[in-house]
Structure 1
Amino acid sequence: MPEQIRITDVSPRDGLQNEDRRVPTSEKVALVRALCAAGVDEVEVSSFVSAAWIPQLGDAAEVFSQLAGHAAPGRDRPVFSALVPNRRGMDAAIEVNRRAGIRVVDKVSVFTAASETFARRNTNATIAETIERFIPVSEAAAREGMPLRAYISCVVACPFEGAIDPGQVAKVIGLLAAVKNAGRLDEIDLGDTVGAATPDTIVPVIRAARRAIDQFMPGVEITLHLHDTNGQAGASVAAALREGIRSFDGSAGGLGGCPYASTPGHRAPGNIATRAIVDIARVAGFETPVDDRLLDEASRFARALVGFHAAE
């Protein structure tokens, strides 16, 4: 029987957070529901961050509240996850569940980087200081029974520092062991933030990450988050599949991407399209429950929300 891959669609969060247009809450909810119908395994719905920092996601609590009518994951909807940068964000996610009376935020994510400069630019803290903030999030996730994912940005290259050594990624994973030991940490998400990955550069990162996970936190899953800035994301997915990676982030319509990769007058391609991951995996002999027609509909809807023509 063919092996399955796991797909998280990040378009409602990562795909919309840097858009100039403020997408109405109702349209975000409609996008999430379209992705549910398409059959992806997980949807990263939003982020519990300060509205002053990312105003596009200032309605996270309301988006989740409007999704509370869906049944529990595993029946007729995927896992719903949210990015929480710190304990305050985690508390907000827990409060959404309390008010809804059911679990609607199923899973939470934190984020750091393999680049000190990128970490400081995005969090006003060093990598070590950022990871220290995750300790209370991990403790709360363990108490609430919520899986925790840790993003590591810039695993191949940084817009400020250039190429990143795979050993630096391994070092960050070693630091994240304290987060797991404090409560729980279930998944490491390797982010090629500027879309610099090729098969030749992503494979050493995957191998270094796996060695570090085996050493510091055995059993933690690796997910790959690729941007298609240089048109190599698809080939990198195929290489990752050969390396044993079975969990990938995609974005309906290819929404999102790193703003540092774009230039005035030229918008760089964003996250690898969810449909591209599905197609590459099937060609490689893997299964996914995604409905192609419904995913294409969700992708067209996602592109219409932001008014540009990304790849399906």
Structure 2
Amino acid sequence: MFCASKHIFGRLAPLRAASASTSPTSTSFPLRPSFFSSRSLTQSRLFASVKDLYYYNNSPKTAPNTSSADNTTNDFVKIVEVGPRDGLQNEKTIVPLDTKISLIERLSTTGLRVIEAGSFVAPKWVPQMADSTSILSHLLRSPPLAPNPVTYPFLVPNLKGLESALPSTTPPPHPGASEISIFASASEGFSLKNLNCTIATSFERFEPVVKKALEHGIKVRGYVSMVISCPYSGDTPPEKVVEVTKKLLDMGCYEVSLGDTTGVGNPYSIDVLMKALLEAGIPPEKLACHFHDTYGQAIVNCMVGLANGIRVFDSSVAGLGGCPYAKGATGNVATEDLVYFMHSVGMKTGVDLEKVSEVGAWISEAIGRKNNSKVGPALLAKRPETPASS
């Protein structure tokens, strides 16, 4: 896929020419969601390599009208590990606290710099996260050994949840979390289903949370779900994603992660979304990509995000995860697969691929589920067998 792109594009030329005159909702182009306009189609294409997309995005005709386009020259990618929270929250059986803590500690040794550790949500809605306070206390009391500083964010949906993240003076006292995240939606249907309120109401609830967190020196990261399509509201217009992303940034979030929650995104729709965000003046360094791998498109979608200047990607060890409110949605892109891909195209992550693969194999066995990474099992299978002791 990442070679002979010149020849591949030569073969794609007739297809691209035909697509320019094809109706945006034509069945001859089933990969293209209905929100694509003729204008956006001329700005999007299926790329065979990161290099091609890099030159395409930085050509005089198509480079985003923003000074931040130079972010494409940065070769370091920060990976945000979401397995302990987004990955485990959808497991049908309760994962023991000791297993969760061990997972976080093992991940900390791999070179990852951000590991999402838990969520302060009502236990009746997400019982898997009921012990997040205990996880925070343990991390503050016994910071895991790590080759570099690690941040452990916690998801916070409201002011009540924020109380658990704030510094505490009651025994045992602790300094609180250093970072939290809030979760908005670009789809009204999903906001009503997941947050039990409209998008507008969700922002009314988030505002005091962000304000109080910042007052206590806690960084805030934003999530936007259903950035491509929603099972309740249909295709999500890119303009709506732009609107929600801007609100989160204006509110005080230092970064916004774009979630393809159902995993229906493809290189066309992701590229159009990236263009819409960049052309709206949102710097790529303020954005992250959070792709689920429901239809096997997560890695190629990461390629498109990468070439559009995104340098932060969320992933989950062993591909853990799913979405309880999106039927059929599978886990996030596997951390092992993402690290392998980034290294294969010359990017740096600071993550030890073999160590992450070992963690993926361990947690899959520990919770009795299939390892959804492709790279991890393949890499570990190449290890020479340990000779039996005589």
Query: Fold-level match, TM-score > 0.5?
Result: yes
Conserved in 1, the CA contact under 8 Å of 2:82 and 2:116? yes
Name the structure 2 match of 1:310. Answer: 371
Matches of 2:350 and 2:285, distance apart in 1: 23
Task: Choose which of 86, 90, 95 in structure 2 pairs with 1:23.
Answer: 95
Paired residue type of 1:257:
G
Conserved in 2, the CA contact under 8 Å of 1:12 and 1:44? yes
Name the structure 1 match of 2:200. Answer: 128
Task: Choose which of 263, 275, 289 in structure 1 pairs with 2:350.
Answer: 289
Name the structure 2 match of 1:280. Answer: 341
Shift of 1:38: 1.1
1:205 aligns with 2:273: yes
Q: Provide closer, same or farther for how the CA distance between residues 56 and 169 of structure 1 changes in structure 2, counting only shifts above 3 A.
A: same
**Secondary structure in 2 matching 1:237:** helix
Matches of 1:133 and 1:261, distance apart in 2: 23
1:196 aligns with 2:257: no
Matches of 2:249 and 2:361, distance apart in 1: 40
Aligned length: 301
Q: Provide closer, same or farther for how the CA distance between residues 261 and 75 of structure 1 changes in structure 2, counting only shifts above 3 A.
A: same
Conserved in 2, the CA contact under 8 Å of 1:213 and 1:219? no
Matches of 2:290 and 2:184, distance apart in 1: 14
Name the structure 2 match of 1:148. Answer: 220
1:60 aligns with 2:121: no
Task: Choose which of 315, 322, 326 in structure 2 pairs with 1:250.
Answer: 315
Name the structure 2 match of 1:119. Answer: 191
Paired residue type of 2:85:
R
Point out the structure with max Rg over C-alpha.
Answer: 2
CA-based RMSD of the aligned residues comes to 2.3
TM-score normalized with structure 2 length: 0.72
Q: Provide closer, same or farther for how the CA distance between residues 310 and 133 of structure 1 changes in structure 2, counting only shifts above 3 A.
A: same
Conserved in 1, the CA contact under 8 Å of 2:227 and 2:238? yes
Matches of 2:250 and 2:150, distance apart in 1: 29
Matches of 2:299 and 2:151, distance apart in 1: 25
Task: Answer 1 or 2: which has greater strand percent.
Answer: 1
Conserved in 1, the CA contact under 8 Å of 2:249 and 2:256? no
Matches of 1:203 and 1:97, distance apart in 2: 48
Shift of 1:54: 0.7
Matches of 1:151 and 1:49, distance apart in 2: 15
Q: Deviations over 1:41-71 (max 9, x none)?
A: 1000000011111111000000111222445
Shift of 1:287: 0.5
TM-score normalized with structure 1 length: 0.89
Matches of 2:104 and 2:280, distance apart in 1: 34
1:138 aligns with 2:182: no
Matches of 1:207 and 1:53, distance apart in 2: 36
Matches of 1:213 and 1:21, distance apart in 2: 44
**Secondary structure in 2 matching 1:256:** coil
Matches of 1:72 and 1:307, distance apart in 2: 25
Paired residue type of 2:364:
R
Q: Provide closer, same or farther for how the CA distance between residues 234 and 105 of structure 1 changes in structure 2, counting only shifts above 3 A.
A: same
> Percent identical across equivalent pairs?
35
Q: Provide closer, same or farther for how the CA distance between residues 129 and 27 of structure 1 changes in structure 2, counting only shifts above 3 A.
A: same
Q: Deviations over 1:4-29 (max 9, x none)?
A: 10011101101111111101111100
Q: Provide closer, same or farther for how the CA distance between residues 300 and 77 of structure 1 changes in structure 2, counting only shifts above 3 A.
A: farther
Which of 1 and 2 has higher RCO (CA within 8 Å, sep 6+)? 1
Conserved in 1, the CA contact under 8 Å of 2:81 and 2:316? yes
Matches of 1:243 and 1:105, distance apart in 2: 32
Conserved in 1, the CA contact under 8 Å of 2:284 and 2:309? no
**Secondary structure in 2 matching 1:269:** coil
Shift of 1:192: 0.3
Q: Provide closer, same or farther for how the CA distance between residues 53 and 92 of structure 1 changes in structure 2, counting only shifts above 3 A.
A: same
Structure 1: give runs of 5+ residues left out of the alignment.
none
Paired residue type of 1:18:
N
Paired residue type of 2:278:
R
Task: Choose which of 163, 173, 187 in structure 1 pairs with 2:255.
Answer: 187
Q: Deviations over 1:257-312 (max 9, x none)?
A: 2245545xxxx531100111111111221111111221011111222243211323
Q: Deviations over 1:234-275 (max 9, x none)?
A: 100111111110000000100002245545xxxx53110011
Q: Deviations over 1:196-238 (max 9, x none)?
A: 1111111121222234453xxx686101100000000010011
Shift of 1:174: 3.5
Paired residue type of 1:202:
I
Matches of 1:296 and 1:54, distance apart in 2: 27
Matches of 2:368 and 2:327, distance apart in 1: 17
Matches of 1:284 and 1:239, distance apart in 2: 13
Q: Deviations over 1:149-187 (max 9, x none)?
A: 11100001111122111111012124335522xxxx101
Matches of 2:150 and 2:250, distance apart in 1: 29
Paired residue type of 2:136:
F
Q: Provide closer, same or farther for how the CA distance between residues 122 and 2 of structure 1 changes in structure 2, counting only shifts above 3 A.
A: closer
Name the structure 1 match of 2:303. Answer: 238
Paired residue type of 1:276:
D
Paired residue type of 1:147:
K
